[in-house]
Chain A
Amino acid sequence: MRYFYAATILAALALSSPALSRDGNSVTIASPWEVASADPAISGFVIQKLQIMENLVDADVEGILRPGLATQWSVSADGLTWTFTLRENVIFHDGSEFNAINAAAALNRSFEQPGVLSKAPISSIGPGDGVVVFELEHAFASLPALLAHATTVIPAPGAVDAEGVPSALIGTGPFQVTEFSPPQALELVRFDSYWGKAPAIESASYLAAGRAETRALLAESGDADLVFTLDPSGFSRLADVPEVETVAVPIPRVLTLKVNASHPFLDDPQARQALSLAIDRAGIATAITRFPEGAATQLFPPVLSDWHDESLDPLESDPAAARALLMDLGWREGEDKILVRDGQRFTLELRTFPDRPELPLIAAALQDQWRAIGIDLTVNVSNYSIIPEGHKDGTLEVALYARNYALTPDPIGTLLQDFGTGGGDWGAMGWDNKAVAEALDRIASTADQAQRSEAVSVVSRSLQSELPVIPIIWYQHTAAIAEGLQNVIIDPLQRSYGLSDIAWAE
């Protein structure tokens, strides 16, 4: 029996030693996102970040478009025909050739799935001689930006099974998959026949770890070299670990309040301004999300440089001014300190969901801050479907969620959905602003920079003064980087982990 124990302990130690050895030219990445499927429509975000598959159009960290699998693109004078010239001598990881036929097939599949392409005014996508041609229903200037989106990456023809279902991760990127263990792990090696610059690292591992605590421990122990999306406590603890560098990069994801502008209490812009003035953004940013610089002063964060407008008066916190605005609208303080108008108490229901742990906390903070100006807020934390449902049936009053304005390098697609005519599930409700809708249409259809800037200014000014959604916090993308890892670029658009650029210090 004694020998048995000795053997067990020895076995355990023997097993543990390989964990310590690290391949000198390999990088391990940990993030919360699982890769459960080989379908770009589902797992495209990870496939693209790991540079397994590529898009026709690429983008740099500032969102400026640059050639990807297409070397150039042009649009006809009427704006209805787009032609993308494909890069030559590109092969997939399985050795098959990248050409117009398989590029068009992949894009057609992406067009048929719910996603960015399906919302674009496309009438057909077809192959030509070394080109892919898009015919549009009406002019749409940001088509190239959609082709930089994760769901429009190009898989190899051999990545699809006999039934047409994506079954393997085969692309043209600088890294090819050697082992795919869905949903948690991927093993990659450098693809030697890559058309572009060869990466410095030879191999990489990807681990999806759903819990933020686990990810922080992976970074702290050195098991993972590059760890993404840390929670506030993990981030501050890792800041004290000398072997790890922590970084936070502002990203175009914004925590906003959707306001039903047709609600009798909220239909006046002054009422929505009062709600906004009552919010202590600095307090929320310091105590809950723990990045004080994340307190939003307007909807678009500085990282969306085309859309962020320095000249706007910043959103402020001033409960006394908020109260004065409401008094102006005929509200008076009732017996229980809650405002009353025409016999109606100022009560609202806020809908949110727990998937992002900060949402219910911020909802509770809002409840407290609005009570201070006399608004009785009920918080309903449930499934997020209650927000689009409430938008549809008109029962929604206010909702709290996070919205990503850079799904594609150009946010126009998202903004058209959110603030175009009729509003959107995750945007305006009961708020129709003709000038904004027209400006958005103009931005979507023109390539003229001057016209575009003018229209952008119309949109950002109206959103700031009318507040169809009330911005609260600009998000930060957090990462922990192992000591010695160089050239790490944290992409605010979250399109790439930058594997092909990073290297270990000599």
Chain B
Amino acid sequence: MGRVRPQIAPWWRSVLGILAGRGFQALVVALVVGIVSFIMMQALPGDASYRIAAGRYGYDMMDAASAEIVRLELGLDRPWWMQLSTWLGELATFDLGRSHVYGSRVVDEVAKQLNYSLLLAGGAVVASLVIAIPVGIAAGMRPGGKIDHVSLALSIFLRAIPAFALGIVLVLVFAVQLGLMPVAGFRGLQHLVLPSLTLGLGLAAVSSRVVRDAVAEAMSAEWRLFSRTKGLTARRTVVSHVLRNASLPVVAYVGVQGAYLIEGVVIVETVFAWPGIGHSLVHAIFGRDVAMVQGTALALGLIYVGLNLVIDLVCRLIDPRSA
């Protein structure tokens, strides 16, 4: 993206370049995420077989005997490098193995949870854009104005408050006091509103500032003055020049927000009892379900790569010069 090669390479070549680059990245991410999450799980104190036994048979049933059964069944007594190489070998055949606690196939579990998480992430991005774009544009049109100041203060506040606390405040207001929304769980689209808003507000806190900066910069650019001089109305100028130029950093920033989103999903899903991948990752870590941790971390890593790929392609579409 950084290279400047003025309009020589044809479209498809640059797209193929992006695909190849991100494909390679995906491979590296898969290996690194799998290995690092395995090592981190190994580094946790205590014996994983007890955790897994408790996850399977309940805390009250867990003792040295049931832990021993788990250890033998899952081969946890083997040296760590043997366990890791088994996982890598299975990964090469696209097999993520089975959950240590529930015995179900990791790929099935991840696929099921991913749907819920993508729904939530999608809801959050929509909520954030619905908030950030108008607020950012309004603030950016008049930098230093009242809207700019108020939105800055709000954005600092919303970014500083943890998603966990924000979620509970939203539930208290919209579910408990006003009775408009359900508190938690997932039984229909109305359950999507509050968790999306919780994540979306956190995202909008920063992206509204990015929109504001981009709009402010575009508004003061010389080409804007030129377009006004050549006779375009203020409205036309904003729609066809300012917004296009301003959208580039905004779209690129959505990619950066992917990281916030993945982190936020883990917390928000727990608060809202949302049956997604973040919630399952937390449970898998507590339950020492290494296969599930590796599988979910892998899925999250690959989604991040995929998201960046989409962002690259969209940026190229908005700004053909960068090809």
A: residues with CB less than 8 A from B are 1, 5, 8, 12-13, 15-20, 34, 36-37, 39, 41-42, 45, 113-116, 151, 165, 181-185, 205, 207-211, 213-214, 217-218, 220-224, 355, 382-386, 388-389, 391-392, 403-404, 407, 417, 424-426
Contacts and interface: CB of A to CB of B under 8 A. Distances in A.
B61 A115 contact: yes
A383 B271 contact: no
A334 B276 CA distance: 57
A497 to B, nearest CB: 17
Contacts of B103: 37, 39, 165
A386 B176 CA distance: 42
A392 B65 CA distance: 11
A185 B186 contact: yes
A12 B192 CA distance: 10
B212 interface: no
5 contacts: A18-B190, A39-B103, A42-B57, A45-B58, A217-B183
Interface centre among A13, A116, A388 (most CB of B within 10 A): A388
Nearest to B275: A184
Q: Which 3 A-B pairs have the closest CB atoms?
A: A383-B46, A385-B50, A114-B66
A385 B67 contact: yes
A185 B187 contact: yes
A213 B183 CA distance: 11
B53 interface: yes
A229 B176 CA distance: 19
B44 A384 contact: no
A136 B305 CA distance: 60
B69 A36 contact: no
B176 A5 contact: no
Nearest to B191: A19
A322 B189 CA distance: 61
B51 interface: yes
Most buried by B among A205, A208, A222, A223: A223
A207 B184 contact: yes
Contact of A223 (B58, B62, B183, B280): B183
Given A213-B168, A383-B51, A404 B273 contact: no
B175 A221 contact: yes
B60 A36 contact: no
Nearest to B68: A114
Specify the main secondary structure of chain B where it touches its partner: helix
Q: How large is the interface on B (under 10, 10 to 19, 20 to 34, 35 or more residues)?
A: 35 or more
B172 A388 contact: no
Given A184-B186, A384-B50, A391-B64, 18 more contacts: A1-B134, A5-B130, A15-B189, A18-B190, A19-B180, A20-B179, A114-B57, A114-B66, A114-B69, A115-B61, A205-B187, A207-B184, A209-B184, A214-B171, A224-B183, A384-B51, A388-B62, A404-B60
B64 A208 contact: no
Nearest to A12: B193
Contacts of A389: 46-47, 50
B57 A392 contact: no
A118 B172 CA distance: 47
Given A114-B61, A165-B103, A185-B187, A209 B45 contact: no
Contacts of B308: none
A16 B134 CA distance: 24
Contact of B273 (A116, A184, A385): A184
Contact of B56 (A41, A211, A220): A41
Contacts of B59: 355, 384
Contact of A185 (B61, B67, B272, B275): B275
B64 A392 contact: yes
A209 B273 contact: yes
A182 B180 CA distance: 26
A384 B172 contact: no
Contacts of B272: 214
Select the residue from B62, B103, B182, B183 with max chain A CB neighbours within 10 A: B183
Contacts of B300: none
A404 B191 CA distance: 36
B176 A417 contact: no
Interface string B163-183: 000001001100110011111
A209 B47 contact: no
A384 B56 contact: no
B133 to A, nearest CB: 9
B50 A41 contact: no
A391 B63 CA distance: 11
Nearest to A183: B275
Contacts of B54: 384
A15 B184 contact: no
Nearest to A167: B104
Contacts of A183: 275, 280, 283
A425 B187 CA distance: 42
A17 B171 CA distance: 15
B24 interface: no
B176 A220 contact: yes
Nearest to A241: B176
B188 interface: yes
A384 B185 contact: no
A115 B182 CA distance: 38
A210 B273 contact: yes
A386 B49 CA distance: 12
A16 B190 contact: yes
B270 interface: yes
B210 interface: no
Contacts of B192: 15
Interface in B275-313: 275, 279-280, 283
